[in-house]
Amino acid sequence: METLPVANPFGAPVYYRDLVSSTMDEARVLAKDGAPHGTVASAGFQERGRGSRGRMWNAEGGKNLFFTILLRYGGFDAVPRCLTLRTGLALSLAVEDLAGDLGIRLPRPVLVKWPNDVMIPLVLGESVFYRKTAGILTEANGSAVFTGVGVNVGQSEFQEELRDRAGSLAMAFGPLSPRAPLVMLEKTLSRLYREIETPSAAPSWTERLDERLYRKGERVRFRVGAADAGNVVEGILRGIGRNGEILIDTEGGTETFVSGELEFGGTAWGR
């Protein structure tokens, strides 16, 4: 395991391996060995990277960003509320930071799909479509919290079943430097630090996230609870509540949900 020369505002090391089972597993080992708050485990490729709801995170090795950050808190009450959503907000801002550095003007803002995906706008023909570019998974073990992130950076081809849903920074920005995953990591850590370590320095995260909520104001299908629960609600996505819950206007009124998943749909806007 090598230490990367990446600026980490958490003041902890950033480790890297070419190949791991998952960065989440690596971070758990580091936690057992006493690694400090803010330690990062990153990799060139994950053999068994995990996404939300038990799915595998499939992405091409050597071109993308995979990492897990270890966060230590004194107790459950000290953990930042809605950490996964706030990480998504940080990621969306980091993507826009990178675009700005490259002199690229995105056609639409980067959005967050509740509760744990980041969506990037891609120009296809005369329309702008959103595609999933990053995913987040948060797990906890006692006072240690592990937030795993996968970002499609340089990958431009995806397996057939993902082609209408997946996107990447390269697809939005054009060809990127081989260092782009490291640059993206640094920008993400910077934004995440600001969001969860110095929250008073920015306006309400709920308001800013609500403005970036994927499919807000549209009719959606929401699968409540576990993936196999079979309970689907349809209505207009109103926004998120003060504790990160999703709000959907149904025929019976506004309903609030704290677990579940928006069924995927590609949103398009005319240019």
Residue 50 has pLDDT above 80, yes or no: no
Q: What is the mean pLDDT of residues 61-67?
A: 88
Q: Give the whole-number percent of the chain exceeding pLDDT 70.
A: 89
Helices 180-196 and 83-101 pack at an angle, to 10 degrees, of: 130
Range of the domain at 97: 2-209
Q: Which pLDDT score, from 0 to 100, does residue 53 have?
A: 47
Buried b (16+ CB within 10 A) or exposed e, 222-247: bbbeeeeeeeeeebebbbbeeebbbb
In sequence order, what are the beta bridge partners of 42? 16, 67
Residue 201 has pLDDT above 70, yes or no: no
Provide the domain count of the chain: 2
Amino acid at 208: R
Condensed to tens digits (0 to 9), the pLDDT of residues 207-233 reads: 999 999 999 999 999 999 766 666 899
In this structure, the answer to whether residues 166 and 242 fall within a common structural domain is no
In this structure, the answer to whether residues 177 and 226 fall within a common structural domain is no
Condensed to tens digits (0 to 9), the pLDDT of residues 11-35 reads: 999 999 999 999 999 999 999 999 9
Q: Which pLDDT score, from 0 to 100, does residue 48 have?
A: 73
CATH number of residue 65's parent domain? 3.30.930.10
Q: Output the 3-class SS for 227-268.
A: CCCCCEEEEEEEEECCCCCEEEEECCEEEEECCEEECCCCCE
Report which of residues 162 and 188 the model is more confident about: 188
The answer to whether 40 and 218 have CB atoms below 8 angstroms apart is no
Condensed to tens digits (0 to 9), the pLDDT of residues 67-96 reads: 999 999 988 888 998 999 999 999 999 999
In this structure, the answer to whether residues 135 and 237 fall within a common structural domain is no
Q: Which pLDDT score, from 0 to 100, does residue 159 have?
A: 79
Q: Which pLDDT score, from 0 to 100, does residue 265 have?
A: 58
pTM recorded for the entire structure: 0.92
Q: What is the rounded CA–CA span in Å between residue 205 and residue 234? A: 26
User: Is the torsion defined by CA of 79, 81, 84, 88 positive or negative?
Assistant: negative
